[in-house]
Amino acid sequence: MDPVAALEEIAFLLERDRASAYKSKAFRRAADAIRALAPEELAARAADGRLRRTAGVGDSTFAVISQALSGEVPERLADLRAKAGLSPAGTAPTGLRAELRGDLHSHTEWSDGTTSLAVMAKAAEAQGLEYLAITDHSPSLRVANGLSAERLAEQQELIEVVQAGLPGLRLLAGIEVDILVDGTLDQTPEMLGRLDVVVGSVHSKLRMERPEMTGRMLRAIADPQLNVLGHCTGRLVEGSRGTRPQSTFDAEAVFAACAEYDVAVEINSRPERQDPPDELIALALDAGCLFSIDSDAHAPGHLSFLELGAARAEANGVPAERIVTTWPVERLLEWTAR
């Protein structure tokens, strides 16, 4: 098989399995190191020892390249596919996941993601998505290298450049904007107005008292720039970061406001979040809310988390027509520009 494809698939599956970023980056570095080499040149370098001395190629990645060159599926790749329950050709999406056209929440190395914007975009295209919103963090989230207005404007220019080489995927300029303690959105109104998608999330002071947290969220939801309320409880239920209880707020009031102001409630697909909990999905459904099933991907392999979010939405009886990420991109952009 193609060695570059084998290395990139291994990186993707490691990311899907939430392995350390160090491991997945090693396979992506090796793929970049050999990408420009013709197959004959690559085989010659593998045979005469030059490949072992190539920067970015280590023992594990050399083994993968050698096995791929010999016509085998590399052992590391076969093991990861088996662990993920995938056939050699992958598995076609079914159920509600098959109806998802896009993803409105993803991160790149511009903030706290692990790969470039171009790599994330190509992975989304390979996953069969029709559109992907790039939503890196806003400036107050310094630990995540949040984007100032100037950096966000630079990223918009890059999105246009990358878009030119991706005929099968529509890239949307967006942001995951922090909902500040006073309920304002952590970016200038001018910049927010230039974006296709605005996801708003609470990342700080998650243990605020219920009345204060409710007021904070209601003020953000009433902002006409907001499109999606991200991971609304902030909880963590498992994973390397440990667990964290959900924030307390008046869910009925918050979801009523989301319905009133046409803000979608995100069903965050990350396994460690599973946010909102099932009982809050039911409340939002009864309130008449729209939903957005998003991966919150910080690496290409995380895009596969969409199947988990879709499964939760399906189990809770959320109809596809109420999920904005099942809509064609033209309809979606009409909604976000309302």
Cα angle value 13/5/70 (rounded, 5°): 110
| Residue 289 pLDDT greater than 60, yes or no | yes
Average pLDDT taken over every residue of the chain: 96
Q: Which residue has the tokens 């991971």?
A: 231
The stretch 23-30 carries a mean pLDDT of 96
Q: Where are the domains of the chain?
A: 3-84, 95-336
| Residue 90 pLDDT greater than 80, yes or no | no
| Residue 117 pLDDT greater than 90, yes or no | yes
pLDDT at 86: 65
Q: What's the CATH number of domain 95-336, 3.20.20.140, 3.40.50.720, 3.30.2130.30, 3.40.630.10?
A: 3.20.20.140
The stretch 43-72 carries a mean pLDDT of 96
In the structure, what pLDDT confidence band is assigned to residue 93 with cuts at 50, 70 and 90?
Answer: confident
- Tens digits of per-residue pLDDT, 138-148? 999 999 999 99
| CATH topology identical between 3-84 and 95-336 | no
CA–CA separation, 40 vs 44, rounded Å?
Answer: 6
CA–CA separation, 49 vs 281, rounded Å?
Answer: 57
pLDDT at 85: 74
In the structure, what pLDDT confidence band is assigned to residue 4 with cuts at 50, 70 and 90?
Answer: very high
- Tens digits of per-residue pLDDT, 232-275? 999 999 988 899 999 999 999 999 999 999 999 999 999 999 99
CA–CA separation, 273 vs 267, rounded Å?
Answer: 10
Give the class (CATH, top level) of 3-84.
mainly alpha
To the question of pTM greater than 0.85 for the whole model, the response is: yes
**Residues of the chain above pLDDT 70, percent:** 98
Starting at the earlier edge strand, list the strands of the sheet with 228-229. Answer: 102-103, 131-134, 170-178, 197-201, 228-229, 264-268, 291-294
Long-range contacts of 158-164 (CB under 8 A, 24+ apart): 158/117, 159/117, 159/134, 162/117, 162/118, 162/121, 163/121
| Residue 84 pLDDT greater than 90, yes or no | no
In the structure, what pLDDT confidence band is assigned to residue 88 with cuts at 50, 70 and 90?
Answer: low
